[in-house]
Structure 1
Amino acid sequence: MKRWTEQKEIPSETHNELASYPEFIRDLLFNRGIDTKEKAEQFLNPDYERDLHDPFLMLNMDRAVGRILEAINKKEKIIVFADCDADGIPGSVVLNDFFLKVGHENFEIYIPHRYKEKYGLNIDAIKKFKNDGASLLITVDCGITDNEEVAYATKEGIDVIVTDHHLPGEDLPSAYAIVNPNQKECSYPNPNLCGGGVAFKLVQALIDKGNFEVGPNGWEKWLIDAAGISTISDMVPLTGENRAIAHFGLKVLRKTNRPGIAKLLQKKRIAQNQVTEEDVGFTITPHINAATRMGVPHNAFLMLKTRDGLEAHEYVQYLHQKNEERKKTVQTLLEEIDDRIGDVSNKEIISLGDPAWLPGILGLAANRVVEKYKKPVCLWGQEGSDVVRGSCRGDGSVHVKQLMDEIGSDFFLNHGGHVHSGGFSVGDSDVSKIENKFEEAYKKVKEESVDEELLIDKTLTLNDINWGNYALLESLAPYGVGNAKPLFKFEKLKIKEASFFGKTGTHLKLVFERPGSWGMPAIQFFAHDYEDGLNLEPGNYVDVLAHIEKDMFRRNPSLRLRLVDIKEAEL
């Protein structure tokens, strides 16, 4: 059950403080913690020099920069080892482009295979680096818990610089330098950088200290498109410095000289000069991850870094193919789950797995299973490894991380997550215990759970939906964690048309009556089954919660509602 909650009314003093801004967005600013004109100016007008912090405020940045500059001067072999996701891969592109720009060609980008290699550094890869003559290893978005591997590399004569943003363990690896804003002694103002963001800060520092002849001051801004992809993909809070990185990352993406990005957007019929954070999250990110989940992650790196149009076309075709394979594989998996799941009426939580299932697609499948059965879901797979990996998704009845915490690290090898999603790993000898563990934990945790809360930014009428107000909404973007897309309440809307669409008929389209026009369209993808008694037939009245969005169907822009929840109106 979802609770609709109105945000606190804006105080009169804040209303007066923000009086120079249009009435439409004053409440929206206040709901985002912006209660002064100074804060509003900073939020609405990101500034590169003001909002991006001095990279040398990060612990060990000076030591890391010194070692890398030494390696460049001595033409040492440098390895950049990046995590194989849509944070680490763009982060590796930042360093790749930096080394090429400053003329250091003796480097290699290494991105591990998701299923053939463990997460993070591994001994076999380090042995290869040693045989190849490497003397410096830089991690991107990984390494902070790889104590054994870092110690091995150091013993073999390879200095390791760990750049990461994940939480450190009790004992840090014995690296030459660790650059991570989440270290205990690090006082960097933004602990919420993603892995690609940390890599970008490293390049900022290198250019500042390196006296390289790389062109105009601020050349590194052209790399912020990759850092922006990382920032949006990794769903870190889009506030402060992260908001600036995402904002300027999108500006560079709109005029990118990366043919891979341009061709991918063209293939998906997205206007490059209007690309948004949603285009990154729903198009660029899935294609990067498709290479990781279904193929060779290095090809996603090559698509991002190439400057050759023919190469870009080939890599975009590859990623498109893998993304289509991913969709088909997920659909096949869903059909298999439906066959196995049986009667769920007496199940409080769905827990299923198979050694043949690809762990990399289980989160996608779990989302769909939750949408269909309205219950929390945990799926696991193995795909040849001796470690079972699983993904959990919630239905709003339970906090997913708390659910896994209840089971605990005595059972899990690793686990973590958030309110609605999480992941875990267990030894293959414990597979038979997974279902019972989740069922027992759910019974305990559910008693402490509360209904999902939907925070309403403002109550509007359909007449408030116009291009002027939409432009004001665009000024609040990019949206994401920490800056949620505004959620509006509309009351007593009369349904004019109602239909379901899509291959499986799971997407809902409504048209509401609107005086002076043919109507206001509204859609919801993977529409859930609303409570018994809710009538969506034409002529009935409903209250809805929705976002306002631009529809570019046939490249003819119009405004519509993206539905979040619907209730019967009280007349």
Structure 2
Amino acid sequence: MSVTITRRAISDETSSHSLAGNLPSLLKRIYLSRGVSDDKELQRSLKNLESWQSLKGISEAAALMADAVISGQRILIVGDFDADGATSSALGTLALRAMGAAWVDFLVPNRFEYGYGLSPDIVEVAKNSRPDLLVTVDNGISSIEGVKAAKEAGIKVLITDHHLAGEVLPEADAIVNPNQPGCEFPCKSTAGVGVIFYVLCALRTELDRRGWFVPPREKPNMASFLDLVALGTVADVVGLDSNNRIFVHQGIGRIRAGKARPGILALAEVSRRDPARLAAPDLGFALAPRLNAAGRLDDMSLGIELLITEDPNHARHLASQLDGLNQERRDIEDSMKEEALRDLARLKLDNTVDGNTNALPWGVCLFQDDWHQGVIGILASRVKEKMHRPVIAFAPGNESEIKGSARSIPGFHIRDALEAISTKFPGLILKFGGHAMAAGLSLKEKDYQTFSDAFDQEARRLLVKAQLEASLMTDGELSLTDLNLDTAEMLREAGPWGQNFPEPVFDGVFDLQEQRLLGGKHLKMMVVPEQGSDWIDGICFNVDSRRWPDTSVRKVRLVYRLDVNEFRGRRSVQLMIEHLEPLS
């Protein structure tokens, strides 16, 4: 796969700006290239959070929940089995209990038995708890039949979700979703945990209005739950608009101050991260995978229990279990990735025509009957990163069905593509859902090849060949005076960085002084800037061990992030290398 390195430019819309004059020039350039032209967009205090009032349905939701709390009704939260769903479930459970709800519990569908969302089968399970009110978090907007089943059983339903709505909405008692038709809430990238946070804030206001909070019943400080909101927001890879950056910044601030949930502190401990120096990438690449491992391989109830426990020792025990599950997940992923790449190599060979060995499908489908259903999403991501084309990985589901997890590339809206295929081939896709860059679906196994061909054709219809070439966007070359620990520290604190607000990445030419392989797949290097003299530590993860190390290479072009390496109390700058290209 060829890679084009492109440097970010400052758009004409932001060339005239009102950023503070004392902002370092490097940081000013980075912000402007991300479309930030006003200091207001960089404010990270809670007073700058978007108000909940413009969320459609939130007044009805608050009233519904307030009625349930005050009258002592049984409230059951139905979550999703990923980190957003887990943090949402934990937040709802903890906050409702803090507000004086008499009975609150959670239920998370086991992905291997029930699949995603509030299905009729899950309603049957929920009925065992005799709930008066079901509250969905991070799911429900497509649960037409599940809501119907709950209503027929005499159970009230409140849906809180953030996924795209279909043409028909469930007939719930209230729906809060910034992406439902007619909702004027401007922050459409709010994660599921952010949506339930807003609903709970509205509930607290409604309960206060009704005079519920009288001694000894206290009104909870909603800011105390922002560590959960930060973790769920980063883990779900939603766009970090200015509102989500406030959520993440405030949540990380609580973690750094030692005020986080015992479970989050325990996750940091098993991840070998210092809570006092935690940053958004640590949430996304260290804590979230361990939390997600519960839903991928076992039962996400384990992860939610970790997040709601008040006992630090119990939290450490649960975090250790999740760490073990995550290692198991990695081993399964590595095996599946090897099989997938072998399949792609055969596919490439089978499609070779007149010497053209680049005839891979534009939309790639992969399936093995022994693949793990909980890991196919990660597998699709890994293959997508390597091949730079839309990928759907399938694993066996129930009976004669297979379940797929899809990941896409810029310019190819994966959910819309699935909808187009479903329209063209009625009945081919049993069910699907998702958004632009990720989706899930299920098929009959016998229809796999038909769907695979249809997916490839849809990709060819919507994409042009140039879009299949990976492009790395960088913030240009760092000067020698900026290649230092101070700059790395400044950039670390200038975020939080994440989806649609990417962490600064730079490119440059370096002399390669030393190189060695760590763990059989990570290349450790010492490099010197082309016009410099200081040696700088660098590491490139998951290199091709058949290609590296290569002692014949003396000069390389690197695309990298600046990071801070801490070892035995000594802190130094380190290059986290995302692309390595030999020059000589």
Please say whether Structure 1 and Structure 2 have the same fold, judged by a TM-score greater than 0.5.
yes
Aligned equivalents of 2:29, 2:299: Cα separation in 1: 47
Q: Does the 8 Å contact 1:392/1:400 carry over to 2?
A: yes
Q: CA deviation at 1:225?
A: 0.8
Aligned equivalents of 2:149, 2:419: Cα separation in 1: 32
- What aligned pairs does 1:131-150 form with structure 2 within 5 A after superposition? 131-150=128-147
Aligned equivalents of 2:388, 2:465: Cα separation in 1: 19
Aligned equivalents of 1:355, 1:332: Cα separation in 2: 14
Aligned equivalents of 2:434, 2:302: Cα separation in 1: 28
Deviations 1:98-130 (A, max 9, x none): 122122231211111011013111223323433
Partner of 1:310: 313
Q: CA deviation at 1:445?
A: 5.3
The structure-2 alpha-carbon separation of the partners of 1:418 and 1:458, relative to structure 1 and needing over 3 Å to count, comes to farther
Could you tell me which amino acid in structure 2 is paired with residue 426 of structure 1? L
Partner of 1:326: 329
Match of 2:447 among 407, 419, 430: 430
Q: Does the 8 Å contact 2:58/2:202 carry over to 1?
A: yes
Moved more, 409-418 or 456-465: 409-418
Deviations 1:306-325 (A, max 9, x none): 00133213311221221122
Partner of 1:512: 527
Match of 2:181 among 180, 184, 204: 184
The 3-state SS of whatever aligns with 2:429 is coil
Asked if 1:354 corresponds to 2:368, the answer is yes
The structure-2 alpha-carbon separation of the partners of 1:373 and 1:482, relative to structure 1 and needing over 3 Å to count, comes to closer
Deviations 1:395-442 (A, max 9, x none): 899886687577455233345667775543212331343444455555
The structure-2 alpha-carbon separation of the partners of 1:178 and 1:465, relative to structure 1 and needing over 3 Å to count, comes to same
Aligned equivalents of 1:27, 1:541: Cα separation in 2: 28
- What aligned pairs does 1:91-110 form with structure 2 within 5 A after superposition? 91-110=88-107
Partner of 1:122: 119
The structure-2 alpha-carbon separation of the partners of 1:132 and 1:362, relative to structure 1 and needing over 3 Å to count, comes to closer
What is the TM-score normalised by the length of structure 1?
A: 0.88
- What aligned pairs does 1:364-383 form with structure 2 within 5 A after superposition? 364-369=378-383, 377-383=391-397
The structure-2 alpha-carbon separation of the partners of 1:99 and 1:370, relative to structure 1 and needing over 3 Å to count, comes to closer
Partner of 1:281: 284
The 3-state SS of whatever aligns with 1:497 is strand
- What aligned pairs does 1:151-300 form with structure 2 within 5 A after superposition? 151-211=148-208, 212=213, 219-254=221-256, 255-300=258-303
The 3-state SS of whatever aligns with 1:189 is coil
Q: Does the 8 Å contact 2:194/2:229 carry over to 1?
A: yes
Partner of 1:495: 512
Partner of 2:357: none
Q: Does the 8 Å contact 2:69/2:102 carry over to 1?
A: no
Partner of 2:537: 521
Moved more, 510-519 or 72-81: 510-519
Q: Does the 8 Å contact 2:87/2:304 carry over to 1?
A: yes
Q: Does the 8 Å contact 1:225/1:249 carry over to 2?
A: yes
Deviations 1:217-275 (A, max 9, x none): 77110011111111111111111211101111111222234222222212222111111
Q: Does the 8 Å contact 1:143/1:162 carry over to 2?
A: yes
Asked if 1:562 corresponds to 2:579, the answer is no
Asked if 1:23 corresponds to 2:20, the answer is no
Partner of 1:6: 7
Q: Does the 8 Å contact 1:494/1:538 carry over to 2?
A: no
Deviations 1:58-82 (A, max 9, x none): 1111111111111111101111111
The structure-2 alpha-carbon separation of the partners of 1:434 and 1:208, relative to structure 1 and needing over 3 Å to count, comes to same
Aligned equivalents of 2:188, 2:516: Cα separation in 1: 46
The structure-2 alpha-carbon separation of the partners of 1:232 and 1:354, relative to structure 1 and needing over 3 Å to count, comes to same
Match of 2:71 among 70, 74, 80: 74
Could you tell me which amino acid in structure 1 is paired with residue 157 of structure 2? V
Q: CA deviation at 1:367?
A: 4.2
Moved more, 511-520 or 91-100: 511-520
Q: CA deviation at 1:500?
A: 3.0
Moved more, 23-32 or 347-356: 347-356
Q: CA deviation at 1:34?
A: 2.1
Q: Does the 8 Å contact 1:496/1:538 carry over to 2?
A: no
Partner of 2:557: 543
Q: Does the 8 Å contact 2:189/2:241 carry over to 1?
A: no
Could you tell me which amino acid in structure 1 is paired with residue 226 of structure 2? I
Asked if 1:60 corresponds to 2:63, the answer is no
Q: Does the 8 Å contact 1:84/1:112 carry over to 2?
A: yes
The structure-2 alpha-carbon separation of the partners of 1:545 and 1:419, relative to structure 1 and needing over 3 Å to count, comes to farther
Asked if 1:484 corresponds to 2:481, the answer is no
Moved more, 459-468 or 80-89: 459-468
Aligned equivalents of 1:379, 1:396: Cα separation in 2: 18
Deviations 1:481-504 (A, max 9, x none): 1210112122x422212333323x
Q: Which runs of 5+ in 2 are unaligned?
A: 352-359
Aligned equivalents of 2:288, 2:481: Cα separation in 1: 35
- What aligned pairs does 1:12-51 form with structure 2 within 5 A after superposition? 14=16, 18-35=20-37, 39-40=38-39, 42-49=40-47, 51=48
**What RMSD over aligned residues (CA atoms) do the two structures have, in Å?**
3.2
Aligned equivalents of 2:384, 2:500: Cα separation in 1: 25
The 3-state SS of whatever aligns with 2:537 is strand
The 3-state SS of whatever aligns with 2:183 is coil
Q: CA deviation at 1:536?
A: 6.0
Q: CA deviation at 1:153?
A: 1.2
The structure-2 alpha-carbon separation of the partners of 1:460 and 1:195, relative to structure 1 and needing over 3 Å to count, comes to same
Moved more, 184-193 or 326-335: 326-335
The structure-2 alpha-carbon separation of the partners of 1:419 and 1:568, relative to structure 1 and needing over 3 Å to count, comes to farther
The 3-state SS of whatever aligns with 1:245 is helix
Q: Which runs of 5+ in 1 are unaligned?
A: none
Aligned equivalents of 1:493, 1:419: Cα separation in 2: 37
Q: Does the 8 Å contact 2:43/2:246 carry over to 1?
A: no
The structure-2 alpha-carbon separation of the partners of 1:341 and 1:7, relative to structure 1 and needing over 3 Å to count, comes to closer
Q: CA deviation at 1:278?
A: 1.4
The 3-state SS of whatever aligns with 1:221 is helix
Q: CA deviation at 1:528?
A: 5.7
Aligned equivalents of 2:34, 2:57: Cα separation in 1: 33
The 3-state SS of whatever aligns with 1:235 is coil
For these two proteins, the number of residue pairs brought into alignment is 560
Identity %: 26
The structure-2 alpha-carbon separation of the partners of 1:382 and 1:10, relative to structure 1 and needing over 3 Å to count, comes to closer
Q: Does the 8 Å contact 1:163/1:178 carry over to 2?
A: yes
The structure-2 alpha-carbon separation of the partners of 1:336 and 1:555, relative to structure 1 and needing over 3 Å to count, comes to farther
The 3-state SS of whatever aligns with 1:64 is helix
Q: Does the 8 Å contact 1:358/1:383 carry over to 2?
A: no
Q: CA deviation at 1:390?
A: 1.9
Deviations 1:165-219 (A, max 9, x none): 1111111111111111112211112122111000100111111221235998771
